[in-house]
Structure 1
Amino acid sequence: MLCGACSANRREVVAVPETVRLTPPATLMQETPTPDPPVWDGATNGDLLDYAQDSRAALGRCNADKAGMRKWAGTE
């Protein structure tokens, strides 16, 4: 005696995850150019030096982040 309910092929739908790698737009990964020096109205030359050094360091960090994104995205 065969059991009809057990003999049928039972198919099961299985969802397979797919990894999609999205990258930032190319315009966001371009180098940030060095800005023109600002019109300075600070109190001392020391203030100007501090401002210039801070600006240069911030620009370096900004461009390092962008270089990291380009490397990750495989565009460098």
Structure 2
Amino acid sequence: MKSIELKDVNALAPLIGPGNTEPVLVTSHGQTVAAVVPLTGEDAEDLLLSRSPQFEAMLQRSQQRLDQEGGQSTEEVRRRLGL
């Protein structure tokens, strides 16, 4: 894994350009303060959703509703859709 001092962040561009496959740690006074991680489009979406309070709240509401009302099996859904 690479690391870079915060004062040298302008030098970050070559480390995170196309073809970079490993994380780069950003440090300040020897302490890690950030990580720059290569992402695909799907990974970026996953990261953004995992950090979203609104998405987390939606998942919790959905789980509560499922716990209260139950759900449908795959077989039931297929039968209803005629699959």
TM-score for the superposition, normalised by structure 1: 0.26
The structure showing larger relative contact order (alpha-carbon pairs under 8 Å, at least 6 residues apart) is: 1
Greater strand fraction, Structure 1 or Structure 2: 2
> What TM-score do the two structures reach when normalised by structure 2?
0.24
